[in-house]
Amino acid sequence: MEGGSAACSADDLENYSVGDHVGGLFIILACGGLGALLPVLAYRFPRLKPYDDVVTFGNFFGAGVVLATAFIHMIPPAIANLSNPCLGPITEDYEPLALLITMAAIFLMQLLEFRQHQHQVQHHHHHHHHHHHGHSHPDHGGDDTARSRSLVTMIVFELGVALHSVIIGVSLGVVGGREFTTLLVALVFHQFFEGLALGSAVVLTEPTARAAFAAAGAFALSAPLGTAIGIGARASFNANATATLWLLGAFEALSGGTLIYTALVELITYGLTLSPRFAARGAPAGSVAAAFLGMYSGAAAMSVLGKWA
């Protein structure tokens, strides 16, 4: 063991109940699934759709959730894992390792979006030139670009939160006693709010019913999957093992970087700051207020949960 001390050995499990953990697994599955399905059901069944300002509040509540998830729930654990003394000298040689990985993830996201946008612009220009001398065609380039951006945002978001949910599910599966109860309650709200954020991102892509329910289902299963892994590995799991610290730290840092970019650029900058719907003269004050209130409320809710999960 790199740390060379008892501090790097596995912790003893106290008051561990497999039955409680299995029950918690299904509770988290239900709450995460409910959160993800609510926006999808409202989209698929118009009669269930609330007022526009309520939808706006929900969409930007999701944006706040994404941003706070990255800063409060991903980056701190990544820093803690990648600065753990059990990793050896590297924690002293380069202390901001986790933040370096986070920054690299942000740059990678920007590069991927640039390449995607570059391809779309060049393809649209070629298509427009090809039809220049024919009949006039409506220009759907802007709609296609926005829809494509929403799709990329949803996919990246899904991957980021699903990976994070698996990790925190493992954390739940390997603890017992009072710590398990506290973490379970926090994760119920955590998964519900993240599910709302994901469902809101999914409906922006105008998905088919199959795609929408598949995305919601994949998210709902992620934390229970992690919990099941934790239950199975509880006897041999060591949170201070070198491989565990590297794996969890790197994944949390990468996921944090992708969600920071997704929240600040895709959801907040494109969706709110630069959106004609909110910035144009005569924009409904109620919608603008709903957007900002939703964003701040989502960030606040996840920030409060950061005390326990």
The pLDDT tens digits for 63-113 are: 999 999 999 999 999 999 999 999 988 887 888 999 999 999 999 999 988
Which of 160, 172, 217, 206 has the alpha carbon at shortest distance from 308? Answer: 172
Residue of higher predicted confidence among 149 and 162: 162
Q: What are phi and psi of 250, to 5 degrees?
A: -65, -45
Q: What is the per-residue pLDDT across 67-79, written as a single tens digit (0 to 9) for each?
A: 999 999 999 999 9
Residue 255 identity? S
pTM: 0.82
As a whole number, the mean pLDDT across the chain is 86
pLDDT, average across residues 21-42: 94
Q: Which two tokens stand for residue 240?
A: 């201070």
**1-8: long-range pairs with CB below 8 Å, 24+:** 1/86, 1/240, 1/241, 1/242, 2/86, 2/87, 2/88, 2/242, 3/84, 3/85, 3/86, 3/87, 3/88, 3/240, 7/85, 7/86, 7/240, 8/85, 8/86, 8/238, 8/240, 8/241
Is 77:255 a contact under the CB 8 Å cutoff?
Answer: no
User: CB-based burial of residue 275 (10 Å sphere; 0-12 exposed, 13-18 middle, 19+ buried)?
Assistant: middle
pLDDT, average across residues 120-144: 57
Give the Cβ contact number of residue 8 at 10 Å: 20
Residues 6+ apart with CB under 8 A from 248: 77, 78, 81, 167
List the single range of 4-8, 112-116, 231-235, 293-297 with lowest mean pLDDT: 4-8
For residue 258, the model assigns a pLDDT of 92
Residue bearing tokens 């991927």: 112
Sign of the CA dihedral 19, 24, 27, 33?
A: negative
